[in-house]
Structures are given as structure tokens and as C-alpha cells.
Structure 1
Amino acid sequence: MVAKKSIKSIANTLKFSAITGADQQWFSEVWFPKAEEAGLKYMALITPEKAVARSILKRLDSELKGSYATKNFDSMEGAVDWLAKRN
């Protein structure tokens, strides 16, 4: 994100299963703050197939309140289309 000065991101979590506590902590304490600092404005998330991963990501999403917009999608096509319409 820094090198390309990107303000958009897609997280393809379709095949995620359980996410360890350490990974959840890393996402919330390291990845998201650094992405926001780098200029993240829009993040599209491909919804996981597994209920346990959906639950974890939903909780993470509710805990993380950044200055970027997030939206969940069932397909990569929907995510790409949404991001393409963002400035």
C-alpha cells in the first residue's frame, strides 16, 4: 500500500476457517493501523464460507473503527466493482 500509494484493498477471506487469537490481535493492533496510516480508504471483504470465520471477522469489524469504509461481498466480482466506483 505504501509503495503503490493505494487507498483500496480487497481481503479474500472466502476460504478462511478459524483465525487464531494471535492473528486476530495482529490484524487489529498492527495491520489495520498501518494500513490506515498508509492511506487506506476503502476495504472490500469477501465473506468467508465457514460460519466460525464469518463470526470472528464480524466481531473484528465491529471492534475496528477506522476512517476507512468497509463492505462485505459474496464474490470477487462484486468487491472489484464496488472498489472501482470509489475515488
Structure 2
Amino acid sequence: MSAAKDNTSSGVITRELVVGNKVGIHARPAAMFVKIASRYSCDIFLEKDGEKINGKSIMGLLMLAAGPGSKLTLEATGKDAAQATAEIEDLF
């Protein structure tokens, strides 16, 4: 589930995501997320409860402790942000 906020003039794409995995974001889903995010040159950040982390950091993702139903804000900035955001959304 996601809600879109695109500011194409500044190149920032923002999505509100809800963790659908019944055990949350643990090592395997975090690794999948980072693998996808790392394929893109854009900057990718995730935020949960005011804590913002680099989406290309598996340790950062794990430290979010995002359990089932957690609300996350995805922010991507750069030339391939739209493609990265679309692929990441498919994980949720």
C-alpha cells in the first residue's frame, strides 16, 4: 500500500508505504530492498517515526525495526528515482 507525492520539479519522489510482511522487515526483506536500491544511482531514504536512514544500508533498514503494519516514508532523489521507487513499491 502506498500514497504518492511527487515533486518532479525538484526531482524528489515520496511514497508512504506500509509494511505488509507478517514478520516485518527482517534480514531477508532488508537484503532484497538494498539489492534493488543499490542498482540505481539516485539517493534513496526511508523514514520511520522520525528516524531517517539511507535505503542502500542494510544495517540502517534493520535498525528501523519496522514490524508488520509499520508506516514508512520512502524518498528518492535523482534521475532514475521514478524507476527505483516503482520497483521498491512492488516489495510492499
The TM-score with structure 2 as length reference comes to 0.29
Please state which structure has a larger fraction of its residues in strand. 2
- Higher radius of gyration, 1 or 2: 1
The TM-score with structure 1 as length reference comes to 0.30
